[in-house]
Amino acid sequence: MRLTSIVKTASLIMATTALGAMALPAMADIKIGSSLSQTGPASFLGDPEAKTLTMLVDELNAAGGINGEKIELVMYDDAADANKARTFATRMVEDDEVVAVIGGSTTGTTMAMIPVFEEAGIPFISLAGAVVIIDPVKKWVFKTPHTDLMACGKIYEDLKKRGLTKVGLISGTGGFGQSMHEQCLSIAGDYGIDIVADETYGPKDADMTPQLTKIGATEGLQAVVNPGFGQGPAIVTRNFAQLNIGVPLYQSHGVASKSFIDLAGEAAEGVRLPASALLVADLLPDSDPQKAVVVGYRDAYEAATGSDVSTFGGHAYDAFKILVAAIERAGSDDPAAIRDEIEKTSGFMGTAGVVNMSATDHLGLDLTAFRMLEIRDGDWTIVAD
């Protein structure tokens, strides 16, 4: 009796599994995969990224697709969990049989997926920040956002220009904050920057005044840099104003969306951060070659979703446009041909700047498109070079 009940239960499970397989959508012309962190601790990255991809795919299919073939987007939510991302990567390769993948909202999920695509030979464009994704160069892996290393460089350049060298760091212990914290420490010497204080906070912390009090009491402090994203930087900025520390505060490109200004309120006045031109689309002179791209994407995104544009969605925009152009040039949906064409991307104007990829550079961005912004009167302004 017992055995039969066990067998019955077992066949039930197998039936469910098989049923799940049948429920999958039928085939389409060109299949592009995507695993993003639409929920979970990195949802403020994954959410605009996913919305951007959906919008662009609809747009492209309405216009007739690529070389007459429609695109099907297979999208999964990995909730920033590396193990889930790894499973979805396998699913996209072995079950959905996609020809290319965009995604990995976070460095952790990206790094977990890379071995799958490297082995299967599927081109993969990551939307995550850390420099380890493309350095050393991996054959099938590309990425679109500026690296955390570049953000530190941009901030230090600005500090040097202002004659400030004694810097306090307050970093989030999330992946973004820790990775950028390390990069900022590693290149401080190159810019003649002295890190005089070094504190951290947890991603869900409610109050950072103890850490900021310590930093504020450090002798000779001239500026504070806050690598991190999510709600932490907004609270840091508010606490910073509350304690009236009285030195310039720098945020990272991780807070580059309008909601940061809303959350930090008046405390955000005078805060500087490196960011792409997307946030200041209207402030660009008409002669700026980037203006048409960033204004176009911003208007389309805000019309389609009803929410403010962020640089994170912009990374997805860049990745999708680079991929589509590569598929067009390749003239086929062969993953190897697509990979070769992505690597040949040159002179592409995206939201993050001009992309010139090569066999040794799978990012292709330089510091020029990275702007130093300052918040004044509740809005972004460009700091003159």
DSSP, res 147? P
Instruction: Report the nearest approach of other proteins to the CB of residue 199 (Å).
Output: 5
Q: How many angstroms separate the CA atoms of 90 and 201, rounded?
A: 35
Rg (CA), the chain: 22
Q: How many angstroms separate the CA atoms of 46 and 66, rounded?
A: 25
**In terms of CB distance, is 215 or 281 closer to other proteins?**
215
Environment class of residue 279 by beta-carbon count within 10 Å: exposed (0-12), middle (13-18) or buried (19+)?
buried
**In terms of CB distance, is 217 or 292 closer to other proteins?**
217
Instruction: Report the nearest approach of other proteins to the CB of residue 65 (Å).
Output: 23
Environment class of residue 308 by beta-carbon count within 10 Å: exposed (0-12), middle (13-18) or buried (19+)?
middle
Instruction: Report the nearest approach of other proteins to the CB of residue 353 (Å).
Output: 24
**In terms of CB distance, is 41 or 65 closer to other proteins?**
41
Instruction: Report the nearest approach of other proteins to the CB of residue 48 (Å).
Output: 10
261 φ, ψ (degrees, to nearest 5): -65, -40
User: How distant, in Å, are the alpha carbons of 309, 373, 376, 383 from that of 272?
Assistant: 19, 5, 10, 9
Length of the chain: 385
Instruction: Report the nearest approach of other proteins to the CB of residue 302 (Å).
Output: 14
Instruction: Report the nearest approach of other proteins to the CB of residue 231 (Å).
Output: 5
Residue 51 contacts by C-beta under 8 Å, 6 or more apart in sequence? 301, 304, 305, 313
**In terms of CB distance, is 54 or 165 closer to other proteins?**
54
Q: How many angstroms separate the CA atoms of 275 and 255, rounded?
A: 9
**In terms of CB distance, is 61 or 218 closer to other proteins?**
218
Spatial CA neighbour of 362 closest among 155, 147, 148, 183: 147
**In terms of CB distance, is 178 or 290 closer to other proteins?**
178
Helix (H, G, I), strand (E, B) or coil at 248: coil
Q: How many angstroms separate the CA atoms of 49 and 14, rounded?
A: 35
Query: What count of Cα atoms within 13 Å lies in the side-chain half-sphere of residue 124?
Result: 32
Q: How far does the chain reach from its first CA to its final CA, in angstroms?
A: 81
163 in Cβ contact with 192 (< 8 Å)? no
Q: How many angstroms separate the CA atoms of 257 and 310, rounded?
A: 5
**In terms of CB distance, is 21 or 384 closer to other proteins?**
21
Instruction: Report the nearest approach of other proteins to the CB of residue 67 (Å).
Output: 27
DSSP-derived pairing of the beta strands 71-77 and 30-36: parallel
Instruction: Report the nearest approach of other proteins to the CB of residue 298 (Å).
Output: 17
Instruction: Report the nearest approach of other proteins to the CB of residue 21 (Å).
Output: 4
Instruction: Report the nearest approach of other proteins to the CB of residue 355 (Å).
Output: 24
Q: Look up residue 187 and give its amino acid.
A: I
**In terms of CB distance, is 31 or 321 closer to other proteins?**
31
**In terms of CB distance, is 4 or 287 closer to other proteins?**
4
**In terms of CB distance, is 206 or 303 closer to other proteins?**
206
